[in-house]
Structure 1
Amino acid sequence: MDKLAIIGTGYMARIIANRAKELNIETHCFSIDEHSVAGEVCDFFHNVNILDIDALTEVCRKIDVNGVVATTELTIYPASVVAKRLGLNGNDETVSKEVTDKTIIRRKVKNIEELFQPRFWICGGIQDIPKINNYPVIVKPIAAGGKRGISVVKTSDNIKTAITEALSVSKVKGVLIEEFLSDGQEYSVESLSYHGSHYIIQVTQKDSSGPPHCVELGHHQPAELLHEMRKKVEKVVSRILTTVGITDGPCHTEIKIIDGKIYLIELNGRPGGDHIAYPLTELSTGYPYITGIIQVALNKLDETQLKNFEKNYSGVHFVTTQTAYMKPIFDNCETEQWLYYKNKVSDKLSPITHNDGFNTNYFIYYSREKKPNFEDMKGKNYE
């Protein structure tokens, strides 16, 4: 029986552990949180700090694991180092260390043909704020996930507050200040790499709250792109992955398309969260994406499955104060054939200031025939 080391014990770790068990793979989760969601489902829980790479390596060597997977930005580098120390499949350690640093990625991909980037500045703190002539800008932590610490700043009066907020959550000292791209549509791309070959699994279209925090309020697959643009996205993202040095495992690449031009927002060397990687990508394509991620870690990817994907429709709507117009649909969606899953946290709606895909009201839709027309449903009388 293969043994899989899962670094972290959050929601993605739980998803991976559940799938591995379905595949008759022994699961070992690592964290200091014994009451975490993945700790409840894995075969073996190890109370080890996910940042203590020597301790992780020692336990994984003793167990004789066959693969190591990361589950969040924080675990990408530790998982890569452990895999390499044990002679297992994974990305180069330097690549894994750099992939979470937005500034390094921006510099690496600057010469890719047909890829555009906003103007950007690197700032170490409020003591060295760069001279910015044109606002608005968006201030981001150099290394953080889930839209945490992100703010759109419209005037210089608010730049110090935004920088302080970003610094408070960044895993790397400093912040990235970028020209705010107010136009266009946001997308994300789920990919799987294996021994240097890149497979684009799905493109997701995003609903964004817009300024000040640009929180994601919904995800829809497949993205509404013309065939030519879809192929262009696949080509450009594959070039990004090669240029950055990704060889193995999943990536979640965020882009924006403005007047036919593809702009890079950021790259994350892990599966997409907020239900994107699972279940949406698996529902819309018919491809077991989580299984593929596990197979890559075990160096056993079945590449014959990575073609002729299904063309189904799936998505998630987060029902918050920002999307209060969706509440009547949310309250009555149990009667709809397209309902895949409904998560109710509270009758009272609350705002979200960063991506929080599990602890808020949401519903997931799925259809093999056509995307549900939610615009028409907004006026539907459910009484």
Structure 2
Amino acid sequence: MGATIKIAIIGAGYMARIFSDNAHQLGIETHCFAWEKGAVAADFVDYFYPISIFEKDQILELCKEIEITGVVATTELTIPIAAYIAEKLNLNGISYDDAQKITNKYRNRMCTLDVQNLNQPRFALVSTKNDIFKLNFKLPFVLKPSNLGGKRGVSVVNNLDELDLAMEYTFQNVNDSTCLIEEYLDGGIEYSVESLTYRGTSYIIQITEKISSGPPHCVELGHSQPACISKVLKKKIIETISEALEKIGVVNGPCHTEIKIIKDEIYLIEFNARPGGDHIAWPLVDLSTGFHYIQAAIKIACNDFTGVDYKKLKQRYAGVRFVTEQTSYLKPLFDVCEKFEWCYKKNEINEDLTCLKNNNGYNTNYFIYASDKPVDIDKINDDISR
């Protein structure tokens, strides 16, 4: 790829900075579009345009003038904007029609009802408490926004005394008058599937095992790659998610699909048609596989992708642990983690541990590990704590 290649990055958060850094490694010029306030990526891109992401026609005209080669989304909100620009410029992307719906969890569940081996919890759209009462859902159940990812607004309702507070919490994150109610999937382990799709062909790059806080908000407290699963289950996940991605309209670009495995059965949590945040897509996938996931996503957008040679993927171990109030037991290891060879990065924001209510992996205490051998974080921590 030559120096004249130009990528449009929609949004200016942490993922936008990651896209810019990776684009520069490829010799690509970066153009970022977002509000100036809170624009983390503004100082790391070649050109920053302080324009609301919702001014899609204004961004489109600028992209025409710049002669943009590809366009990438960085968050759920930017997916339709990136798709609109890509479609208008005849670049690789998701169709604008699908992109306007692809963040809707209810729609995605309906689209994938007939996918073999993909189980769905009972689910419905609700607007009021009366809607919930009429459905007669068994407790506990889950309330969540139907149009947002990242566990924002998710609340597990264990008894009806918690319902008012849970609904208030969920509807603070809802853009319309409805939210999703789902059967609570008890037991099992949460995973995410990191994929790339190019012209309708999907490649599963990595499967991530997650550490969840559990109810009420199911916040993610850590990630490990690769997931500790059997070859048979891995094959099943790859085949199932590849079919599901086609059903929801992911024909180009990255997707971060969240699932839960209960007794070797796959249950859908949600799709996110963008790279996995909280360090998953970068640097964890790079560290565990040696495959430059974000760079590949950029190449897909620029129509310069040549597929994935699975034989060249490395079999390494990588992960992140967020050191919060919920994981205060990790504080002894966090204090000294940089002394270990497996420590890739330590990020200390505050000596006081805070309680995570939403996934926020960039603005909290964490450490990232990477090694050719498995790293038993809990055992190392226990040894230090004695």
Query: Would you call these one fold, judging by a TM-score over 0.5?
Result: yes
Q: What secondary structure sits across from 2:383 in the alignment?
A: coil
In 1, distance between residues paired with 2:311 and 2:197?
Answer: 14
* Pairing of 1:162-311 with structure 2 (within 5 A): 162-305=166-309, 307-311=311-315
Q: What secondary structure sits across from 2:378 in the alignment?
A: helix
Q: Indicate conservation of the 8 Å contact 1:142/1:172, yes or no.
A: no
Residue of structure 2 aligned with 1:8, choices 8, 11, 15: 11
In 1, distance between residues paired with 2:370 and 2:304?
Answer: 30
Q: What secondary structure sits across from 1:5 in the alignment?
A: strand
The 3 A distance-change label for structure 1 pair 206 and 128 is same
In structure 2, what residue type is equivalent to 1:112?
V
Pairwise CA distance, 1:7 = 0.1
Gaps of 5+ in 2: none
Pairwise CA distance, 1:375 = 2.4
Residue of structure 1 aligned with 2:117, choices 114, 119, 122: 114
The answer to whether structure 1 residue 59 and structure 2 residue 23 are counterparts is: no
Paired-residue identity, %: 46
Pairwise CA distance, 1:87 = 1.0
Q: What secondary structure sits across from 2:36 in the alignment?
A: coil
In 1, distance between residues paired with 2:238 and 2:384?
Answer: 41
User: What is the number of equivalent residue pairs in this alignment?
Assistant: 382
Q: Indicate conservation of the 8 Å contact 1:119/1:179, yes or no.
A: yes
Partner of 2:95: 92
In structure 2, what residue type is equivalent to 1:229?
L
**What TM-score does the superposition give when structure 2 sets the normalisation length?**
0.96
The answer to whether structure 1 residue 131 and structure 2 residue 138 are counterparts is: no
In structure 2, what residue type is equivalent to 1:24?
G
Gaps of 5+ in 1: none
Q: Indicate conservation of the 8 Å contact 2:194/2:276, yes or no.
A: yes
In 2, distance between residues paired with 1:382 and 1:148?
Answer: 33
- The Cα offsets for residues 169-212 of structure 1, whole Å up to 9 and x where unpaired, read as 12344110100011101000000000000000000000000000
In 2, distance between residues paired with 1:71 and 1:83?
Answer: 14
Pairwise CA distance, 1:329 = 0.4
**What TM-score does the superposition give when structure 1 sets the normalisation length?**
0.97
In 1, distance between residues paired with 2:380 and 2:118?
Answer: 37
In 1, distance between residues paired with 2:196 and 2:146?
Answer: 24
The answer to whether structure 1 residue 82 and structure 2 residue 85 are counterparts is: yes
Aligned CA RMSD, in angstroms, stands at: 1.4
In 1, distance between residues paired with 2:51 and 2:301?
Answer: 20
Pairwise CA distance, 1:163 = 2.1
In 1, distance between residues paired with 2:137 and 2:281?
Answer: 39
Q: What secondary structure sits across from 2:203 in the alignment?
A: strand
Pairwise CA distance, 1:382 = 7.2
In structure 2, what residue type is equivalent to 1:184?
G
Q: Indicate conservation of the 8 Å contact 1:287/1:306, yes or no.
A: no
The answer to whether structure 1 residue 28 and structure 2 residue 31 are counterparts is: yes
The 3 A distance-change label for structure 1 pair 75 and 210 is same
